[in-house]
Structure 1
Amino acid sequence: MPNGSLESHLFQKNKDPPSWGTRIKIAMDAARGLDFLHTSENTVIYRDFKAANILLNKEFVAKLSDFGLARLGPPIDKSHVTTQAVGTYGYAAPEYINTGHLYVRSDVYGFGVVLLEILTGLRAYDLNRPSGQTSLVDWYKPMLSEKPKLKKIIDPRMEEYPPEGINKLAQLILRCLQSDPKNRPPMSEVLLILERISTIRLDPKGSRPSPSKPKAHDKRPNSHHPSPHHHHHGASASASAGASPRPQAHRHTHGL
C-alpha cells in the first residue's frame, strides 16, 4: 500500500504525524472493517488487530490486512471459542490471554488499544520504557477518566484537536478496554461513536499553541518516545470491508 501502515505513521520519526482528522478517519475505516467481519453470515474474529495491520492507500483510506490468525466465531448457541492464545503483546484481550476463551468482542479490546496509540502516539507495548510503563494500557488507562491528566497524554505532535472530541475518544477507549467482554460495545456502536466524534469541529482554542518541539514527548510524566525500529516478517493475507492484498507484512506475533 502506498502509504504503508498506521504503525509507521504513528511511530517512525521520518513520517509526518497524522492530524486529528486523519487519525479519526483511519479509526473509522478500520472499525468498518471489523464490523464487517463481525456481522458477516459466518462471523470472523480477527484476533490480531494492531496498528501494523492497518494499511493506508494514497488517500489514507485504511484497510485491514494479514488475516493469518483470523478464525471463525462461535456458533450461534455459544458465546466464545476456546483456542490457544496467540497474538501480539499489548493488544490481546485479558480473557483470551488468561483462559484461551476468544469472544467476538475480544477484537474490540484490541481496537481500544489501537485507539489509545492513536491518542498518545506511543506503542502498545515497548520494552524500552521503564518498568511499569511497558504496557500502554496499564500505564495510561487510569488517566483517561481524569481530564487534567488526559491533556498530558495526548500525542504532542498533534497540534490541533477538539477538546470535546478528545474527551469522547477517551470515554470510548475506556469502554473498549473493559475487562469483561460483555461490557465492551459492539463494533457497530464503536463506529457510530467515531462518526459522531468526526463531526465535532476543530476548536483552535483547545489546540496546542505552537508546533511541538523535538523533545515534546519528554513533557509527559515519565514518558519515553516510541522506539523507531521495526521488524517485518510473517505471512499475510488481506480482506476487509475494503481490505486489499499486500505483500509479506509485519506480524510480530507471539504465543501468549
Structure 2
Amino acid sequence: MRIMGLAAVAAIALAAVSGAEAKDWTKVRMGTEGAYPPFNFTTADGTLTGFDVEIGNALCDELKLECTWVTQDWDGIIPGLIAGKYDTIIASMSITPERMEKIAFSAKYYNTPPAIAIRKGSELASATAEGLKGVRLGAQGSTTHSQFAEEVLSGSDVALYPTSEEYKLDLENGRVDAVVDDVMVLDQWVSSDQGSCCKILGTMEPVEAIHGKGAGIGVRKGNEELAAMFTKGISALRQNGKYKEINDKYFKFDVYGSE
C-alpha cells in the first residue's frame, strides 16, 4: 500500500471539479497506475490487469456499473482524481489521515505489511531499524514505504525511485543493499525469474499513522455515496467467493487482513 506527497494537490484543488455532484451512478471511470505488479500493471500486449484491476472489475459487475479504466502516473493520481480525469482511484492507495483531508474512501479491500528484500548472499540478518542501520535502502518515492523508510528507518541511507522497477534493478546490481515495499509486491518479484537475485529478509510491523488502515478506493469529496457503494460491493465479494477467487490467483494467503 502506498501514500503520495500532497504538495501538488493544494494548487489543483483550487481549480478542481466540484465534489458535490450527487448522481445516480451507472458509469464510472476507474483510475490506476498500471505499474505496480502484482496489484496493477500492463501486460506485453497492452492489457491492464492485476489484483486491483480484477477487484475493480468484479466490483463493477457486482454493482452493475459500466466501468472504464484510466492510467495515471502515481505522483499525479490524486490531482487527477480531483481534476475530474476519473471518478475513483483503485491503485493500492492507503487510507491515511493526510489523504482523507483531500479525498474520501471506501472501506479497505486489502491490508498487507511492509517487507525488506535483499540480495541472496547478503550478510544482512534482521529486518529491523537497528539491523538496517547504515544500509543503502531503496524505496519507491511518494509511497507509504518511502515515508516509513525516512521516518522509521532513518538510520538507513534511503534512496528514492520513481517506480518499483528501478529500485529492483538497483538491488539486483548492488547499487542498494536492501529495499522496502509491500510484502506481496516483493514476494511476487523474488519468486519470479526476474527477482531470482534476491529474497525476502522479513516483514515489519506497519505503523498506522503512516500505512493507514489498508488500501481503499478513493473518490472525490462529495462523492461519498459512490465510496459507500464500493464498500457494500467489497463486502458482497467477500461473501460470494469472488474475492477469494481473485485473491488466490495472485497470492498464497488472504490479503484482506482481519475482518
Bigger share in strand: 2
Larger Rg: 2
State the TM-score, normalizing by the size of structure 1. 0.27
Return the structure number with greater helix share. 1
